[in-house]
Amino acid sequence: MIRLVILDFDGTLADTVELIVKTNQEVQRRMHYPVCKPEEIIATIGLPLAQCIQVMYPQVRSEELPRWVSVYREVFDMLKTQIVPALFPHVKETLAELTSRGITCSVASSRGVESLHAFLKEMGLAPYISYVLGAEDVTLAKPHPEPVLKTLEHFGVSASEAVVVGDMPVDIQMGLGAGAITCGVTYGNSGREALKEAGAHFVIDDFQEILTCFFLPR
C-alpha cells in the first residue's frame, strides 16, 4: 500500500529545461567561460547548483562558487519572467486525484527552496504538496538518499510505503538508496534506458500513469 509519493520537480512536474539551459549559458558568458552545449547542461539537472558548475567546469575553485551561484540567481530571476515553465500534461489533475484518495504528496528537489515554493504556488500545485525539501534543507543531496530518508521520517512512513518519482538517474538512485519504490518518467530530461539502467522499478511515459501503476481504480 503506497501512502506517500515523493516527487522531483524539474523535468518531472514542470518543463524547466529551456529556462535552466539559457540561465546557465548566460551565466557562463558573464563569468567569461566557454558556453556549454544544451546537452552538457541538461546532463547536470538534478544536482545541486554548485555541483552542476563543477561538473561543467572542474577548474572552478571552491572559493569562486559563491560568485557563480550569485550570478546564477540574478540571471534566473531575470529570465523566469521571460521563459515561463509549464506543467507537464496531467500533472495537476493527477496530484488532485492522489490527494483526494488520501495519498500524501511531497517534493524533494536540488532546486533552492524559495524557488520551489514560488513555482509550486504560481503553478497551482501548492495545495497538493504537503512537504517541500530544497537544496538548503539537506546536508547530502541527490543521489544520496538523505532527502527521501528525511521525508519518510517527517511523515512517519516506511520506505516500502513510498514511491519516488523522477526523470533523472540521480532521482532513482536516491530512492533506491532509501529502500523506496522508484518510478522514472521518460518525458523529462533523460530517457527510458538511462532510468532502467539506474534501477527504476517502473518507467512511465505520462504522469497520470502513476494512478494505474500504484493505485487501484476507483
**Residue entry with cell 532510468:** 195
Determine the length of the chain.
Answer: 218
Which residue, 94, 128, 106, is CA-closest to 208? 94
DSSP character string of 109-135: -SS-HHHHHHHHHHTT-GGG--EEE-G
Catalytic residue among 8, 10, 167, 171: 8
Active site residue 8: yes
Side-chain-side CA neighbours of residue 3 (13 Å):
9
Asked if 80 and 123 count as a contact pair (C-beta separation under 8 A), the reply is no
Which residue, 26, 3, 9, is CA-closest to 160? 3
Distance from C-alpha of 23 to C-alpha of 84, rounded to nearest angstrom: 12
Distance from C-alpha of 64 to C-alpha of 80, rounded to nearest angstrom: 24
Distance from C-alpha of 130 to C-alpha of 107, rounded to nearest angstrom: 8
Q: What is the set of active-site residues?
A: 8
